[in-house]
Structure 1
Amino acid sequence: MTRTVAEHLQIVTEALPTADSLGTEEITVRAALHRVVVADVMSPVNLPVFRNSQMDGYAVRSTDVAAVPATLPVHGTVAAGDGPRDLPVGAAIKIMTGAPLPTGADCVVPVEDTTTDGAIVTVQRGRTAGEFVREPGSDVRNGDLLVPAGRRLGVQHIAALAAAGVGTVPVRRRLRAAVITTGAELVPAGTPLGPGQIYDSNGTSLATAITASEGEVTAVTHSIDDAPTFLATLREAASGADVVFTSGGVSMGDFEVVREALTPLGGWFAHVAMQPGGPQGLTVVDGIPVISFPGNPVSTLVSFEIFARPTLRALAGLAPLQSEPLPLCADLVSPAGKQQFLRGHVTQGGVELVSGPGSHLIAAMARADVLIEVPAEVTALDAGTSVQVWPL
């Protein structure tokens, strides 16, 4: 029985893990970029930790520089990392940015507002209490919220956590995915091509697509067109994964190793009313979903975009992809009864096709930045007609 795209998307989505089923893990802050924290992270310290200078200059009492010019003796220097110092009445201490404010000082005079003569400083401009002084806790106080639960960590969050001395954070575990390509004709890049052979692009492209959706790739492997060999490869790949993606071997012809191996295990293999990517498969093996895509390179990538990418993005805390309407730059035709996903490029005038519908035109797809969605009931559209496009 043929499924619609919406029907197959729902079934695949339900088969894929949920955030709850993935669980959580504690990782270092340095490794936590783009991860989703699962609990509020509170600051364990005040920031700033202690009163310190905002400027290079002189720590003074504001009352000693109320009338300017004011000439004061300089009692040494305090640098960042130095211990506490006491400021005598009627004196100044040279201070560096970030250095602890001496006891007794209540402001800092920037160095550009002073002149010096040996151990004497003349203040040309007075300052009031608190000027150029960073107070403890003025940024965040001990026990205050630093990062709320559910936040996807950006560089700014990592910086705040590190500044507060937070070493590890609890985060949502990433989806672990394995990739298996099939086909006797496939050889790895860098290998001389023999008769009838092509390079295995699907392993690389699927692994990259998983990484781009912030999943963790646990294995990328290849199986020959032999059912026992494929099953052994699958069980090994599945042992460290939450989901396995396969490419090839799902159609109705001979040598369809994925369909042959997984149908006896309860796998569903049939057509989805779409182009490219019609043949699809879904099996659960030992509790691990095996999502099977057709082997033509464009079909493989489009299938991942439609059926897997939305869930992987949601698990990673990424915002859902949004389509937008754009006018067609040229006429197009589409097969009746199939939801079409054409490759397009956005221009100032709308969206233009970058290739034909062929599922082998992977080099042409490199020029695309969107998928053009054409509903199954539509067979032709004129230039200027508005269509929905999805970002690649």
Structure 2
Amino acid sequence: MTRLSDDCFDPSVPVMTVAEATAMILSRLPVVAGVESVPLSQADGRIAAEDVSAAIDVPPFDNSAVDGYAVRFSDLSETGSTLLPVRGRLPAGAAPSALSARAADRIFTGAAMPEGADTVVMQEDVEVTPAGVVLPSGIVRGANRRPAGEDIARGSVAIPAGRRLRPQDLALAAAIGRGAIPVRRALRVAVFSTGNELTEPGGARAASGIHDSNRVMLIALLRRLGADARDLGILRDDPDVLAARLREAAQGHDLILTSGGVSVGEEDHVKNAVAAAGSLAFWRLAIKPGRPVAMGVVAGTPFVGLPGNPVAAFVTLAFVVRPLLDRLGGAVHTEPRGMPVRAAFALSRKPGRREFLRVCVHRAADGACEATLFPRRGSGTITSLTGSDGFADVPDHLDRIDPGDVLAFHAFAAMW
């Protein structure tokens, strides 16, 4: 397993934007996930470990795009219809022989073109007679013919390294004859929650306690991103115990992720525990919700401490930890592209932090998509995540949003 240096997260500024944090992650961290080969049936969502090139043309031979008649274009009349005798019948999979001049072959979709034929006339456009097939004028040379390599040429890169594989990528890999593909091993992520107030969901809850909701959410989100997320339970607010457990987690994991205990209060012990077990670069990010995010290294393993409020944990995982996962896991990171929506609300705000507002989106009378604010905006309000459609992404420089302003919208359904 690749080990990191203690100062790899060392920030150059005390408060970083999300863009600056992402740039630091992508420029300073190595890929840590190894490589394995898996069958295509198991490759969906995995990261391509190397370029996959086409060993053959796709399609591998010229073939017909329709049911019709294969002909030589030079045999067709320029001014009127043409009568050609039908020589043979070519279903898909048949091995054709050369087509002689002044003849046609009945051909079906996907069938290999006979040598000499360069054009297919659709069956709907012809007249079949006892003497042969009557072909209309006005046919274009090469019509309804799919040439070899039209989809992808032999030697071309079919799947680039770093791509998170999708069903369509697997279809292309199958078309070029690959039964398996080299992918990055799934990142092993240790997930803790921290806090004396937490109890396991389903367990007995003290009168002053709460059920731990963050860990369940974070593990589910990580698994949707292809990580091997491992539940390591709840850590109590004891600096010595925290440091020991973090050192243990560093062995056999590619990333340690916690939530809670990373702010500046007297009972926020995670930062000190990380400093004791390794090194800490405490990032204050210009993001809302989610300003306190701790990053560091424990025994060569990267560590991220997320805020304890559920919405802040969700936002920072989506927009701060995700680039980290992409980099460590060998994926090419792309910035989330929000869909433009029109604000149907007014909001004054203090500039300086990129803010993710929970919004509901509906279709307005003029057909445009409009966003309305979810009525409860607290960062501890889980129902603001379950009751909204996604985030409106507000740039850090804006001090006001007026109805009609266009914002980028990140739909929950498209984020994971």
Letter in 1 for 2:109: T
Greater Cα shift, 121-130 or 7-16: 7-16
Deviation at 1:245, TM superposition (A): 0.8
- Counterpart CA distance in 2 for 1:293 and 1:40 is 34
Aligned pair in 2 of structure 1 residues 279, 107: CA closer, same or farther (>3 Å)? Answer: closer
Match of 2:15 in 1: 5
- Counterpart CA distance in 1 for 2:324 and 2:165 is 19
Letter in 2 for 1:97: T
Match of 1:297 in 2: 310
Match of 1:81 in 2: 93
- Counterpart CA distance in 2 for 1:354 and 1:215 is 33
Asked if 1:50 is matched to 2:75, the reply is no
Deviation at 1:246, TM superposition (A): 0.6
For the residue of structure 2 that corresponds to 1:165, the secondary structure is coil
- Counterpart CA distance in 2 for 1:63 and 1:387 is 60
Aligned length: 378
- Counterpart CA distance in 2 for 1:106 and 1:7 is 59
Aligned pair in 2 of structure 1 residues 313, 287: CA closer, same or farther (>3 Å)? Answer: closer
Match of 1:362 in 2: 382
- Map 1:187-202 → 2, pairs under 5 A: 187-189=199-201, 195-202=207-214
For the residue of structure 1 that corresponds to 2:85, the secondary structure is strand
Letter in 2 for 1:319: T
- Counterpart CA distance in 2 for 1:224 and 1:349 is 42
Which digits, 9 at most, give the CA deviation of each residue in 1:281-307, with x for residues without a partner? 444222112222342323433444564
Asked if 1:319 is matched to 2:341, the reply is no
Deviation at 1:136, TM superposition (A): 2.9
- Counterpart CA distance in 1 for 2:251 and 2:129 is 75
2:359 maps to which of 337, 341, 345: 345
Larger Rg: 1
Using the size of structure 2 for normalisation, the TM-score is 0.67
In structure 2, list runs of 5 or more residues that go unmatched.
Answer: 1-12, 362-368, 411-416
Asked if 1:207 is matched to 2:225, the reply is no
For the residue of structure 2 that corresponds to 1:45, the secondary structure is coil
For the residue of structure 1 that corresponds to 2:95, the secondary structure is coil
- Counterpart CA distance in 1 for 2:204 and 2:114 is 72
Match of 2:300 in 1: 287
- Counterpart CA distance in 2 for 1:331 and 1:272 is 23
Contact kept in structure 2, 1:277 and 1:302, CA below 8 Å: yes
Which digits, 9 at most, give the CA deviation of each residue in 1:65-94, with x for residues without a partner? 64745262554x221112234556665432
Contact kept in structure 2, 1:298 and 1:360, CA below 8 Å: yes
Using the size of structure 1 for normalisation, the TM-score is 0.70
- Counterpart CA distance in 2 for 1:48 and 1:293 is 49
Contact kept in structure 2, 1:44 and 1:142, CA below 8 Å: yes
Deviation at 1:100, TM superposition (A): 1.9
Contact kept in structure 2, 1:12 and 1:282, CA below 8 Å: no
- Map 1:145-294 → 2, pairs under 5 A: 145-147=157-159, 157-170=169-182, 175-189=187-201, 195-211=207-223, 214=225, 216-225=227-236, 227=238, 234=246, 237-250=249-262, 252-253=265-266, 258=270, 261-266=273-278, 268=280, 272=284, 277=290, 281-294=294-307
Aligned pair in 2 of structure 1 residues 390, 117: CA closer, same or farther (>3 Å)? Answer: closer
- Counterpart CA distance in 1 for 2:74 and 2:283 is 84
In structure 1, list runs of 5 or more residues that go unmatched.
Answer: none
Contact kept in structure 2, 1:329 and 1:350, CA below 8 Å: no
Contact kept in structure 1, 2:355 and 2:394, CA below 8 Å: yes
Which digits, 9 at most, give the CA deviation of each residue in 1:103-140, with x for residues without a partner? 4545433222334467x633242667644333334444
Give the superposed CA RMSD: 4.9
Contact kept in structure 2, 1:343 and 1:355, CA below 8 Å: no
Letter in 1 for 2:64: S
Deviation at 1:46, TM superposition (A): 2.2
Greater Cα shift, 231-240 or 340-349: 340-349
Q: Percent of aligned positions with the same letter in both sequences?
A: 29
For the residue of structure 2 that corresponds to 1:162, the secondary structure is helix
- Counterpart CA distance in 1 for 2:21 and 2:72 is 72
Match of 2:35 in 1: 25
Deviation at 1:201, TM superposition (A): 1.6
Letter in 1 for 2:384: A
Deviation at 1:244, TM superposition (A): 0.8
